[in-house]
Amino acid sequence: MATTAIEEFWDKTSEIMFLGPWCIPDKICIESDDYTENKTVPSPWYLPAKRIDAYNYCRSLYEMTITKLSISLTSFMEFLILINIGVFL
């Protein structure tokens, strides 16, 4: 499987599957004789419903993470304030 457009990383002794169109260098035409057996892996995000589901998942994960992070950072800042107050007493 080609995951990059850098041809030195490809195994040209067998059929090459391109992970996406970004893996195909501009200078190569897919229809050329050397690359007729090659294919590009279809995008898992082709269907709009899958993109919407992924967006909703990432959004909910973000909201959960940012909430927990803000609680943790607030507690840490309160701890630092208490330490600084204790130093000056």
| pLDDT tens sequence across 21-54 | 788 777 665 555 555 455 788 888 888 999 999 9
Range of the domain at 75: 44-89
Query: What is the full DSSP assignment across 40-75?
Result: EPPPTT-SHHHHHHHHHHHHHHHHHHHHHHHHHHHH
Do 49 and 64 share a domain, yes or no?
A: yes
Cβ proximity of 17 and 38 under 8 Å: yes
Do 80 and 51 share a domain, yes or no?
A: yes
Domain annotation covers residue 1: no
Count of the separate structural domains present in the chain: 2
Do 56 and 85 share a domain, yes or no?
A: yes
Domain annotation covers residue 12: yes
Do 58 and 86 share a domain, yes or no?
A: yes
Q: CA distances (Å), 52 to each of 1, 48, 74, in order?
A: 28, 6, 33
Which two tokens mark 42?
């279809």
Record the pTM. Answer: 0.50
